[in-house]
Amino acid sequence: MTTKLAAPETSGSTTTAGRGKRPRPPFGVSVISVLAVLIALFALIPLGYVIVMTAATGWDTAVKLIFRERVGELLLNTVLLMLATVPLCLILGVGGAWLVERTQLKGHKWWAVLLAAPLAIPAFVNSYAWVSAIPSLEGLWSGVLIATLSYFPLVYIPAAATLSRLDPAIEQSAASLGLGAWRAFFRVVLPQLRIAMTGGALLVSLHLLAEYGAFAMIRFDTFTTAIMVQYQSTFNGTAGNMLASVLVFLCLILLLVEVRSRGSARYARIGSGAQARALRLPLRAYQLPAQLFLIALTALAFGLPLAFVLRWIYSGGPEIWAAEEFLPALLQTLVYGLAGALATTVVAFPMAYLAVRHPSWFSKALELSNYITSSMPGIVVGLAFVTVSIKAAPNLYQTSALLIAAYVLLFLPRALVNIRSGLAQAPKELDEAAQALGKPPLLAFLRVTLRLTAPAAAGGAALVFLAIVNELTATLLLSPNGTRTLATEFWSKSSEIDYAGAAPYALLMILISAPMTYLLFQQSKKAAGQ
């Protein structure tokens, strides 16, 4: 009797494990691409609105409205604001992250939270507090001061998260080659922060382009404040659209610079063994200056705004706490914030996946479409949705669904930058290994990639929630009749110079935002595996 022996499996066999086929991406690249294209087309609705309105204006009128002295003044203000604010945010954000994560800073665990705390103060509340402290505050440098104190945490949080999970072996290797602490930082550590720095700088820049309330309070004119004046005061839609077209052009330049500076370097770590804990550098004589610097920074960015909000509450007395006024605003703010954060995070995944796992001109173009829309002022996005919904889908006009859709488009980059950073540090080889072991692509994605990216996604969702809590102009235009949020009620009171009446809404926004800011801190530590 002849026994037939099974042939041993080799790399050239036709078994499932040895065919040499490259595992399919989760869900299939084609499905993800289709979803990303649909999202991009939806995101381009406000831009299409601006283009259509511009074309309807006519070439001669458009040229006359764009190339005029007023536009030059607004352009100069906006560019100077960005040139001063973005570098300051990078210095404060990266410097604070390095002190907290890489030095023997006393109380570094407390400072890690406190440096993120200013994110809980809306920019227009920050401006409201500074105007209360210095009524004569106005102009460019006032705008730089308020914007820097409001937005530097957008750089600090991703930089601190990256430093906390950065393999100290690269610094040890630099030290073994004779590099001192400072030279190692600039030559080895700083390049590893490229994604965090470029993403954070982009977020700060987009905020500067779209911010209205903070600059309106200090009477500093930017494109956004001018567009609001055109739409709300003179109802000159043509002039407003021309200003919006210049704003979109500025955003396009920023996005091209960010994509180019991001590079294609790989930051994921693959290897055996556990990652060593980083050795913290002693500060010695610099301990006191570092403590004083951080105390001054948090006092100006968080302490002063909170102190003046509490001062106005004390001045207003118990009568400003009318439950029938602030409770509906509080509940509606929470509902819209949670719904918008969830929707935005889900929508951001296809874009982020293509950008990290399949980078190409196609993925960059899709990503670019979302950043362009998010850079537009909320009032432009709101008016675009009003016009399109009335003409194409009247049943959607003044519905919660339309308002949440506007939130998604306005704040998608907040989730996208975080998810992209998380995916960049989730090695695709782990997902491919799971598929090679027989896991279906979807299951491999859920158990491996999604779990590794979840902390970054939660951080992005928290950022979106914070943005929705503080959103003003789109909410005013798109919310259903009877909708009242904390931001809109605060703006209504403060616009009437009722600073005491506005204070409870400001405090509630801070109290809601504070736990989400702490969540960002916790999620950054979870991402670092601590």
Domain ranges (residues) in the chain: 29-262+287-527
pLDDT value of residue 115: 93
pLDDT value of residue 262: 65
Phi then psi for residue 450, to 5 deg, are -65, -40
Residue type, 380: V
pLDDT value of residue 26: 46
pLDDT value of residue 172: 60
Cα separation, 223 vs 210, in Å, equals 8
The domain made up of 29-262+287-527 is a member of CATH 1.10.3720.10: yes
pLDDT value of residue 433: 62
Find where tokens 């009247």 sit: 394
Count the neighbouring beta carbons within 10 Å of the beta carbon of residue 107: 11
What 8-state DSSP symbol labels residue 447? Answer: I
Please give the structure tokens belonging to residue 125. Answer: 């509340």
pLDDT value of residue 401: 92
Full-model pTM: 0.78
Compute and round to an integer the Cα radius of gyration of the chain: 25
Please give the full DSSP string across 405-435, using - where no structure is assigned.
HHHHHHHHHHHHHHHHHHHHTS-HHHHHHHH
Sign of the C-alpha dihedral, residues 233, 239, 240, 241?
positive
pLDDT value of residue 326: 82
pLDDT value of residue 429: 57
Q: What is the 3-state secondary structure (H, E, C) of 296-356?
A: HHHHHHHHHHHHHHHHHHHHHCHHHCCHHHHHHHHHHHHHHHHHHHHHHHHHHHHHHHHHH
Query: How does pLDDT run along the chain (530 residues), one tens digit per residue?
Result: 444 444 444 444 444 444 445 555 444 667 788 888 888 888 888 888 888 888 888 888 888 888 889 899 999 999 999 999 999 999 999 999 999 988 889 999 899 989 999 988 989 999 999 999 999 999 999 999 999 999 999 899 888 888 877 766 666 665 666 566 667 676 677 777 888 888 889 889 988 988 888 999 999 999 888 888 887 766 556 777 788 788 878 887 887 787 777 655 555 554 444 455 667 888 889 899 999 999 999 999 999 999 999 999 999 888 888 777 788 899 999 999 999 999 999 998 888 888 777 778 888 888 777 777 776 778 778 878 888 888 888 888 889 999 999 999 888 887 887 788 777 766 665 565 655 655 555 565 655 666 767 777 887 888 888 889 888 888 888 888 888 899 989 988 898 888 999 999 999 999 988 887 777 666 655 554 44
**Residues written for the chain:** 530
- Per-residue pLDDT tens for 139-191? 999 999 999 999 999 899 888 888 877 766 666 665 666 566 667 676 677 77
